[in-house]
Structure 1
């Protein structure tokens, strides 16, 4: 298989929440983080504004069903929903495991099958911070060559590694468009990610992209994209147009499944397909 050894992320422990007194403060914090008023949350959860107010002041104790409704209205991650349940005095509803944990064996099996089936084209498995969890052989070879040594560091976002690599930026003909996409992607994930190492890496990725001040004007002057953003690789020995799709579990009930994204790269034209097949044929046989 193309899965790289040692690519398991560390399990992130849940925030310490030990009493019902935590619930009002946590609910209010999550609501404000989402930019919602009490009325906005009430409408989304289909309850009265007064009920939301009573929950946030501790005058009303939530039921388990109400915590679930609030979690859905706030678009919480499974980890944050578990924390909200614990704060309300209930047991967690979802598993919290890392990709490398024994309990995530099914997640890894599905990932391995997906990555292998996509060969000879590149594919990565990453977490919500775009840190690499696994890669098939074409992806490891291609992006290792483009980004450089350490490109598959499981502690570093692939996006941040790409942004920090002058070689990668120089090899991508439409880097300004790609950088805008990367920034929007990291910001969207950071908006939902609970505090912890994953959120810290997303923040570091956003900072790294924002720090490319010399390219700032070009980032906002990127031309039209078309039907989908194409990664345009242009080097002395390689010309590739790649388009990606991202797959996620449809109904995750564990953080190992919820946090997983599998990115598949496809050749956008016949010449790129031929080039990828030739590159894969040169890789060592497993």
Structure 2
């Protein structure tokens, strides 16, 4: 397939995935429907600026914008920088500050596939209580840890509800970014024992609360937590666009007391 036709096929795929007609996308990109039609048919070659304009109109993630540029014969525009790189020192400081502010409660930073990048001491204490200490440098994928049968599941008393909701969110990610990596993550999660049953479970008969809690129990200790997920505003780097900061908050005084007690013992 020629580069021109490769771009045409990719553009058409993204438009259809986002649910836009040619007329709607042309209006969003401020170009004529005729020109868009020629681009989708491979009868016209886009300029670099046109690729970026169409990608922005389609809200294509930065990683996939690079792929569209390459398909059209241009060099990628967006960088993917390691968090430890000198040019991200201020961003890393901000992330460290956010995680520290969450103490003594857990907070983590993960990439788009839920690989752990950063964690505060509160998160470490929770993991150590539930599953034991991890060796330094051990790679952790929070999606696998949540969904797999033998990590967090034995201690999460409402695992069916939490796992079902989480996997639906990964399905939404896969639909949004259209990447092979996210599709592979979803496939791996769906293959775990018990997942199909969790997804088919009926909604709770009782009136749901304002948020879905995560209810942990180990021995006589009960923990009730809810989470928030934050992202960086107006990212101009692939790493930063795909980064998520998840913070855990207690839903009752007993959970708060336990986390504060763990922190006091560690000091």
TM range (shorter): 0.7 to 0.9
Selected match of 2:204 from 222, 228, 239: 222
Tell me the equivalent position of 2:237.
254
Q: Which moved more, 1:94-103 or 1:65-74?
A: 94-103
In the TM superposition, what is the alpha-carbon distance from 1:240 to its structure 2 partner? 1.6
Selected match of 1:178 from 162, 168, 182: 162
Whether the aligned pair in 1 keeps the contact of 2:83 and 2:239 (CA below 8 Å) is yes
In the TM superposition, what is the alpha-carbon distance from 1:255 to its structure 2 partner? 0.8
Tell me the equivalent position of 1:266.
249
Structure 1 counterpart SS, 2:152: helix
Structure 2 counterpart SS, 1:95: coil
Structure 2 counterpart SS, 1:282: helix
In the TM superposition, what is the alpha-carbon distance from 1:276 to its structure 2 partner? 1.0
Q: Which moved more, 1:248-257 or 1:97-106?
A: 97-106
1:80 lines up with 2:69 in the alignment:
no
Whether the aligned pair in 2 keeps the contact of 1:131 and 1:158 (CA below 8 Å) is yes
* Structure 2 unaligned blocks of 5 or more: none
Aligned-residue CA RMSD (Å)? 3.0
Cα distance between partner residues in 2 of 1:28 and 1:165: 40
Selected match of 2:226 from 228, 243, 263: 243
Tell me the equivalent position of 2:80.
96
Provide TM-score, normalisation by structure 2.
0.84
**Relative CO higher for 1 or 2, CA cutoff 8 Å, sep ≥ 6?**
1
Cα distance between partner residues in 2 of 1:232 and 1:171: 8
Tell me the equivalent position of 1:163.
147
Cα distance between partner residues in 2 of 1:94 and 1:63: 17
Selected match of 2:124 from 115, 140, 147: 140
After superposition, give the CA deviation of every residue in 1:66-106 in whole Å (9 maximum; x if it has no partner).
32331123221101112222333444332222434454433
Equivalence map 1:1-286=2 (5 Å): 19-146=3-130, 157-166=141-150, 168-208=152-192, 212-217=195-200, 219-223=201-205, 224-283=207-266, 285=267
Cα distance between partner residues in 2 of 1:193 and 1:259: 10
Whether the aligned pair in 2 keeps the contact of 1:130 and 1:157 (CA below 8 Å) is yes
Cα distance between partner residues in 1 of 2:108 and 2:30: 39
Cα distance between partner residues in 1 of 2:140 and 2:169: 15
Provide TM-score, normalisation by structure 1.
0.79
Whether the aligned pair in 1 keeps the contact of 2:81 and 2:237 (CA below 8 Å) is yes
In the TM superposition, what is the alpha-carbon distance from 1:149 to its structure 2 partner? 7.0
Whether the aligned pair in 1 keeps the contact of 2:39 and 2:46 (CA below 8 Å) is yes
After superposition, give the CA deviation of every residue in 1:208-258 in whole Å (9 maximum; x if it has no partner).
38x5244455x3333443211211222223112111111110110001110
Q: Which moved more, 1:103-112 or 1:35-44?
A: 35-44
